Amino acid sequence: AQKITQTQPGMFVQEKEAVTLDCTYDTSDQSYGLFWYKQPSSGEMIFLIYQGSYDEQNATEGRYSLNFQKARKSANLVISASQLGDSAMYFCAMREGPQAGTALIFGKGTTLSVSS
């Protein structure tokens, strides 16, 4: 079974609109971390936002917010007021367990296209 599931291969949104990118995860660990990264066509991985399994409040970073629903095991990324520069591939990732030195497991990604 996949650990991280991103069901939207592609999403399209107009500038200034909000968009939600879906992510569900599967783990039996009580302690884990959830991350979102942005990958533009140039290839670099840009960290956007983090949510810890014990965090009670949803994480927010500027225009990015994470809609964390623990019981449903979902960690959707919400981008408010989309910009043309937001066009990129977005990956949801999970680090299992309390140890910070474990690798991230990535979903298949969602390609976001923002139009004017």
Please report, as ranges, the residues that interact with another protein according to CB under 8 A: 31, 33, 35, 37, 42-45, 47, 50, 52, 89, 91, 95, 98-101, 103-109, 111
Nearest distance from residue 98's CB to another protein, in Å?
Answer: 6
Min dist CB 88 to another protein, Å, is: 12
- Tokens 């533009």 correspond to 40
DSSP structural state of residue 103: P
Instruction: Closer to another protein by CB, 79 or 95: give it.
Output: 95
User: Shortest approach of another protein to residue 112 CB, angstroms?
Assistant: 13
Cα–Cα nearest to 48, from 56, 58, 60: 60
Q: Which is nearer to another protein, 14 or 113 (CB)?
A: 113
Q: Residue 36: is it exposed, middle or buried by C-beta count within 10 angstroms (0-12/13-18/19+)?
A: buried
Distance separating alpha carbons of residues 69 and 32, to the nearest angstrom: 14
Q: What is the Cα–Cα distance from 79 to 86, expressed in whole angstroms?
A: 9
> Which CB atom, from 54 or from 116, has the smaller least distance to another protein?
54
Q: Compute the least distance from the CB of residue 47 to another protein, in Å.
A: 4
Phi, psi (degrees; rounded to nearest 5) at 78: -115, 125
Compare residues 57 and 99 and give the one whose CB is closer to another protein: 99
